[in-house]
Structure formats: C-alpha cells, structure tokens
Amino acid sequence: MIDLRNGYFSNDPLGLWAIVFVNYTVRANSREGRKALEDLARKNGVSTDGTPIIKSLSDLTNLTRKGFVTQTIRALDGSQCPIWSLCPVIKDPRDGVIAPDAFLAFTRNADGSPFLTERAFIDNFNCLQQTGDWCDD
C-alpha cells in the first residue's frame, strides 16, 4: 500500500518509501476486533492465511486507531531488515516503456496461481509489455 495523499510524481520522484510492518494485536481477537475484521474481510476479501486484506489507508488507520493492528518501522541501522523500498512508478507506461525482459512480482496463492486481486494488474502489465498499450476492456 502506498500513501498518495500528498501526490506522487510531484513529491516523491525517486519512489523512496519507508517499509512499515503491520501486525495484528491481541485486541484484534476481542469481540469488537473479530467483528471489525469480519467486516473488512467481507469488504476486501482475505489473504492466503485467512486474514482480511487491508486495501486502503483509511482501513489501516481505522484498525490502528482501534488497537487491532500496530505499525512498525524497523531499526534505522538496518540490523533487522531493509527499511527502505525504491518503487518508482512509471507515469505513462505505454509505447514500449516496459522492456521485453521485464517481469512482475505479485502475490500468489498456495498453488502458485495469481491472487485474485492481482489479475487485472497482471493483465495490464502483459498488454503494456506486449503491445505498448493498455488492455481492451
């Protein structure tokens, strides 16, 4: 998830992002927590481990505010793991911008198939790579 509230191309041209780890808390297993997670699962679906998918910053903020999740940035010295991600976005990916040998990393189900929510993204990547334009809808 990327927070784009303050713009992207104007405010982060390098695509430099802090990696934030989100973990469920014991409070998420309370009656109120289970209800909130069930509502979120109905709205967004569940991941391969059965936990609700958090798709929006407002969902994440709400869960954090209620104490159902924590957000943690690892040690700045890098001793725990990398804390930065370089993830530039191509402003206009048409007309051959995606190289023929480029590949896409995406979430997969246990059987190796793409996670359902990734399908449109994968299809558009392939169309842009192969034809230089977006897929026909």
SS3 89: coil
Domain limits of the chain? 20-73, 92-137
DSSP string, 98-135: S-TT------B-TTSSBPGGGHHHHHHHHHHHHHSSPP
Instruction: Looking at the chain, list the stretches that DSSP marks H as alpha helix, in order from N- to C-terminal side.
Output: 31-44, 57-65, 119-131
Q: What are 100-120's pLDDT values in tens digits?
A: 999 888 888 888 888 877 788
Lowest mean pLDDT among 64-68, 76-80, 109-113: 76-80
Distance CA 92, CA 85 (A): 21
HSE value, Cβ hemisphere, 13 Å, CA-based, for 12? 17
pTM: 0.65
pLDDT of 81 above 90: no
